[in-house]
Amino acid sequence: MLAALVVPLLAGCGALGSKKPPPRCPEIFLLKNANSVTYFKPGPGRDITDVLATIRIVDFRGECQYNRKRTKALIALNVAFDVRRGPADRSKTTDFRYFVAIPKFHPSPQGKSVFPLRAKFEGNQTRLSILDEVRLEIPMPPFPKVDEYSVYMGIQLTPQQLEYNRLQANRKRRR
């Protein structure tokens, strides 16, 4: 299981037409070993000259409110990515995917959504910022234990990419 970098995001939520304050909104966590990915050209090489692209989630913000009956938490989430073109890239296009998951609903399909994105570099451009918006609708019981509805997000990784991220994190800790 990936360790989570706790990033409290949604401190207050609004409700429409209610005298009693709504429950607090679910927190969103960015998984620390899934916050970036490095794509390499095919082959065994893994040095800087083999890098096609590096993508990082650099920020996210959200707004939350409950519907009138407080049976759903409605979250608008904006996710910012930093995309860097590597020296091995010749296509000037990088496709990647990120996910938003709510473990409470696992293994149901509503427990995780994966969103594809494409970065297109123009001319000699080597860096892009991409902002994507996601809307979540989380069904809630009348008196929810909001901690059970936490939202996790990260870049969709292969097992090899996850292992690479873990090795990079261990190298940084040893310095």
Cβ-Cβ contacts under 8 Å for 30 (sequence gap 6 or more): 4, 5, 7, 57, 60, 152, 153, 154
Q: How confident is the model at residue 175 (pLDDT cuts 50, 70, 90)?
A: low
- Give, as one character, the DSSP assignment of residue 87: T
Q: How confident is the model at residue 12 (pLDDT cuts 50, 70, 90)?
A: very low
CA proximity to 118, closest of 98, 88, 90, 89: 98
> Does 173 score more than 70 pLDDT?
yes
Write down the pTM of the prediction.
0.84
CB 31 within 8 A of CB 152: yes
**Rounded-to-10 torsion of CA 71, 19, 13, 101:** -20
pLDDT tens across 14-54, in order? 444 446 777 888 999 999 999 999 999 999 999 999 999 99
Alpha-carbon distance 113 to 100, whole Å? 5
CA proximity to 54, closest of 24, 89, 14: 89
pLDDT, residue 19, reads 67
pLDDT tens across 64-108, in order? 999 988 899 999 999 999 999 999 999 999 999 999 999 999 889
Alpha-carbon distance 126 to 166, whole Å? 25
107 upstream amide cis, omega within 30 of 0: yes
CA proximity to 79, closest of 15, 34, 14: 34
pLDDT tens across 158-168, in order? 999 999 999 99
Give the range among 61-65, 90-94, 117-121, 153-157 with minimum mean pLDDT: 61-65
How many CB atoms neighbour CB 97 within 10 A?
12
Percent of the chain's residues with pLDDT above 70: 88
Mean pLDDT of the chain: 88
Instruction: Give the pair of three-digit tokens for residue 156.
Output: 């969709």
